[in-house]
Amino acid sequence: MMSGKEIVRFKIDGMEVEAEKGRLLLPSILDFGFEIPHLCYHEAVSPGGTCGLCVVELTKDGRKRTAMSCKYTIDDGLEVVTDTEKIRRVRHRAWEVLLARASRSEVLRRMAREAGVEKTSLEMRDDECILCGLCERLCREIVGANALTITRKNGRREVVPDPESCIACGACVYVCPVDCIRMVETEEERTIVRWGRTLKMKKCTACGRSFAPWYQLEYIKERAKLPKDFLDICPDCRG
């Protein structure tokens, strides 16, 4: 047993396993080798529970229920089932909702086809974003720039940027599960296309290559209270 942490036993699809009490269920399911779809979860940020794909059936103290495994925490004696007819129906509906939200996303359509869902019966909107919220949570919780907000605009929920707060770090680009946030970079500037944010690049004083936007580096220096010239050299030259 790990010091200071309570380890409990529970079951996943009939297999008895052990994990830390209170840990989120989804990462534990994945760690034990079970496949379960998920688009709005990332271990670096708080759970969202918005995509609806990681649904499982749970039995605890004789009571059965369905839950999003990305938001449910492990407890002793829990029984988890990851694939039943009911779960398949819920996930099929979740794929339909996502397809309707992001009708222009070829990445999402490919994922849905692989899951056996070809189309949606719901009204479609002309977008690529599935509103998973990963970009907003990462920008707020990890980067700390708070450049993105999920709000209602023109009668529907959207991720709305504050371009002046965006440091063009690209974190949102890398975390997006359907590649709808794109970045274009040259020696002179970097653009986060979806947010319409373009910033000038800084060149390394040692090798002369561009390596990050000026604004991003100034933000990091101020936030971390680094010396004025600390980020004048690129990571490669810094060694």
CATH of the domain at 59: 3.10.20.740
Does residue 119 lie in a domain region? no
Beta strand 7-12 pairing with 79-81: parallel
Does residue 126 lie in a domain region? no
Does residue 1 lie in a domain region? no
Does residue 120 lie in a domain region? no
Q: Supply the range of the domain harboring residue 157.
A: 134-238
Whether the pLDDT of residue 76 is over 90: the answer is yes
Residue 150: the pLDDT is 95
User: Does residue 232 share a domain with residue 190?
Assistant: yes
Mean pLDDT of the chain: 95
217/228 Cα distance (integer angstroms):
10
The pLDDT confidence band at residue 3, using thresholds 50, 70 and 90, is low
Structurally, the chain folds into a number of domains equal to: 2
When mean pLDDT is compared across 2-6, 64-68, 139-143, 221-225, the lowest value belongs to 2-6
User: Does residue 105 share a domain with residue 25?
Assistant: yes
198/152 Cα distance (integer angstroms):
25
Residue 172: the pLDDT is 98
User: Does residue 88 share a domain with residue 37?
Assistant: yes
In total, the chain counts a number of residues equal to: 239
Does residue 63 lie in a domain region? yes
Average pLDDT over residues 185-190: 97
Give, as one character, the DSSP assignment of residue 172.
H
Whether the pLDDT of residue 239 is over 90: the answer is no
Percentage of the chain beyond pLDDT 70 is: 98
User: Does residue 87 share a domain with residue 143?
Assistant: no
User: Does residue 110 share a domain with residue 49?
Assistant: yes
Residue of 55, 207, 227, 208 whose CA lies nearest to 217:
227
Instruction: Give tens-digit pLDDT for 112-148.
Output: 999 999 999 999 999 999 999 999 999 999 999 999 9
The pLDDT confidence band at residue 1, using thresholds 50, 70 and 90, is very low
Does residue 122 lie in a domain region? no
Residue of 68, 70, 30 whose CA lies nearest to 47:
70
